[in-house]
């Protein structure tokens, strides 16, 4: 289920469910129709193997029980063959079903635990980087501030002397000015870094950016069993934007959507990314997920910095998205989706319009 090589199956849970149903019927008919000497019921292990990853542990156990029941019913209904051989075959089939279900469920649980550990690690690494970054900024700003405070105290002490040592006091104040400017320069540099001023502006096709971001997220989508639907309008006009920043926005929205769907069953996980033209020369894209959705009280805080619903989250993702989108003259909005889940929509001015205004 978490194995990337099986992601094509995972991405189409409905097909898998259909295959399971078809196999159940087929095996039952085959097992009932053939002689008791033929152990058709052994093939139920294929059904169990298909179900592992699609169904919960309890679902797999229930399915295994159902297969055992079908085996017994087949045994009772099969008209021809030796009863002794049929009994032995049924027992072997039931044992095979039971063992497959048990081992499969155990393996899936171990994989899930390994995956959980890995994602914890990734989250921790992300937090550690941010923590280290914050500590480094704090240090950079705090040093000159400490110097300012100390120099100010020194200046007061020079002035308090009898007679006041004005020359030394003035030199202390000169240093205060220099250090305060230094602290201010650190902040200015930081702001430049956060906004990457001036952002590069180039003509970009939003569909291309979406395709790139989705490619980057595909692995993660597969791992989480999320089916993806792309609905990109072919006639979207280009926008003037910073490609990297737009990728950051999309990457953030995709990651949020994936995380929002962690709590819903795999069969119900679906992501849709759309691009479209939005009236008066605007281009928009939307990321829709079938996740846990947006309660009303959440919507008010979504874009606030340091506001988060995720354990271990920083609450910076959407705040950064908003600042990027707004620096491009666009806006970002979030709404609950009608069928459950959430929609995040970003709209940007198309290039022609900006050009006319300028």
Partner 1 sequence: MSARDLAGEPEQATVYVVDDDRSVRDALADLLASVGLDVRCFGSTQELLRTGVADTPGCLVLDVRMPGQSGLDFQRQMAGLGIERPVIFITGHGDIAMSVKAMKNGAIEFLTKPFNDQELLDAIQQGIDADRSRRCEARALAELRERWKSLSRGEQEVMRLVVQGLLNKQIAAHLSVSEITVKVRRGHVMRKMQADSLADLVRLSDRLQLDPELH
Q: How many residues bind partner 1 (CB under 8 A)?
A: 26
Does the footprint of partner 1 cover residue 150 (CB under 8 A)? yes
Helical pair 13-33 and 44-51, crossing angle rounded to 10 deg? 170
CB of 64 to partner 1, least distance (A): 52
**Sign of the dihedral defined by the CA atoms of residues 297, 302, 304, 309, in that order:** positive
Cα(329)–Cα(305) distance, integer angstroms: 20
For partner 1, the closer of residues 145 and 267 by Cβ is 145
Cα(44)–Cα(93) distance, integer angstroms: 8
Does the footprint of partner 1 cover residue 142 (CB under 8 A)? yes
Does the footprint of partner 1 cover residue 148 (CB under 8 A)? yes
Does the footprint of partner 1 cover residue 172 (CB under 8 A)? yes
Q: Indicate left, alpha or beta for 242 from its phi (over 0: left) and psi (-120 to 50: alpha).
A: beta
CB of 133 to partner 1, least distance (A): 13
Cα(111)–Cα(25) distance, integer angstroms: 30
Q: Indicate left, alpha or beta for 293 from its phi (over 0: left) and psi (-120 to 50: alpha).
A: left
Among 31, 179, 259, 289, binds partner 1 (CB under 8 A): 179
Three-state DSSP class for 225? coil
Does the footprint of partner 1 cover residue 242 (CB under 8 A)? no
Does the footprint of partner 1 cover residue 128 (CB under 8 A)? no
CB 323 within 8 A of CB 195: yes
Among 91, 99, 146, 166, binds partner 1 (CB under 8 A): 146
Does the footprint of partner 1 cover residue 56 (CB under 8 A)? no
- Cβ within 8 Å of residue 139, ≥6 positions away: none
CB of 265 to partner 1, least distance (A): 43
Does the footprint of partner 1 cover residue 161 (CB under 8 A)? yes
Give the range of 50-58, 153-161, 291-299, 317-325 binding partner 1 by CB under 8 A.
153-161
Residues listed for the chain = 358
Does the footprint of partner 1 cover residue 171 (CB under 8 A)? yes
Give the range of 172-180, 197-205, 215-223, 255-263 binding partner 1 by CB under 8 A.
172-180
The tokens 């152990």 sit on which residue?
39
Give the range of 10-18, 132-140, 248-256, 324-332 binding partner 1 by CB under 8 A.
132-140
Does the footprint of partner 1 cover residue 175 (CB under 8 A)? yes
Among 7, 78, 89, 151, binds partner 1 (CB under 8 A): 151
Among 6, 118, 126, 139, binds partner 1 (CB under 8 A): 139
Nearest residue to 248 via CA among 335, 336, 136, 328? 328
Does the footprint of partner 1 cover residue 147 (CB under 8 A)? yes
Give the range of 13-21, 134-142, 272-280, 342-350 binding partner 1 by CB under 8 A.
134-142
The tokens 């690690």 sit on which residue?
121
Q: What distances in angstroms separate CA 175 from CA 137, 145, 158, 161, one per listed residue?
A: 22, 11, 14, 20
Q: Could you list the residues that contact partner 1 (CB under 8 A)?
A: 135, 138-139, 142-151, 153-154, 157-158, 161, 165, 168, 171-172, 175, 178-179, 182
């Amino acid at each position: 289920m978490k194995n990337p090589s099986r992601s094509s199956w995972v991405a189409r849970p409905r097909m898998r469910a259909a295959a399971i149903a078809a196999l159940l019927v087929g095996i039952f008919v085959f097992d009932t129709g053939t002689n008791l000497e033929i152990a058709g019921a052994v093939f139920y292990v294929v059904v169990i193997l298909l179900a592992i990853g699609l169904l919960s542990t309890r679902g797999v156990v229930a399915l295994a029980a159902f297969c055992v029941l079908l085996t017994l019913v087949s045994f009772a209904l099969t008209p021809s063959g030796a009863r002794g051989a049929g009994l032995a075959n049924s027992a072997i089939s039931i044992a095979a079903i039971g063992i497959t279900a048990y081992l499969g469920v155990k393996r899936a649980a171990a994989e899930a635990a390994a995956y959980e550990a890995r994602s914890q690690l990734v989250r921790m690494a992300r937090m550690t980087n941010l923590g280290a970054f914050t500590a480094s900024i704090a240090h950079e700003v705090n040093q000159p501030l400490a110097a300012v405070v100390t120099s100010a105290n020194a200046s007061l002490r020079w002035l308090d002397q009898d007679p006041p040592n004005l020359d030394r006091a003035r030199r202390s104040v000169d240093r205060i000015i220099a250090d305060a400017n230094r602290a201010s320069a650190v902040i200015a540099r930081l702001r430049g870094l956060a906004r990457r001023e001036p952002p590069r502006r180039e003509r970009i096709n939003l569909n291309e950016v979406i395709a790139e971001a989705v490619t980057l997220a595909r692995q993660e989508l597969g791992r989480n069993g999320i089916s993806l639907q792309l609905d990109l309008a072919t006639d979207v006009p280009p926008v003037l934007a910073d490609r990297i920043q737009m990728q950051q926005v999309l990457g953030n929205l995709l990651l949020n959507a994936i995380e929002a769907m962690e709590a819903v069953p795999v069969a119900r996980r679906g992501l849709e990314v759309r691009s479209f033209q939005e009236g008066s020369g605007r281009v928009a894209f939307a990321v829709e997920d079938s996740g846990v959705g947006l309660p009303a009280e959440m919507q008010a805080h979504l874009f606030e910095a340091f506001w988060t619903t995720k354990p271990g989250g920083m609450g910076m993702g959407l705040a950064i998205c908003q600042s990027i989108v707004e620096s491009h003259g666009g806006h970002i909005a979030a709404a609950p989706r009608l069928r459950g889940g959430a929609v995040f929509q970003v709209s940007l001015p198309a290039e022609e319009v900006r050009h006319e205004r300028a």
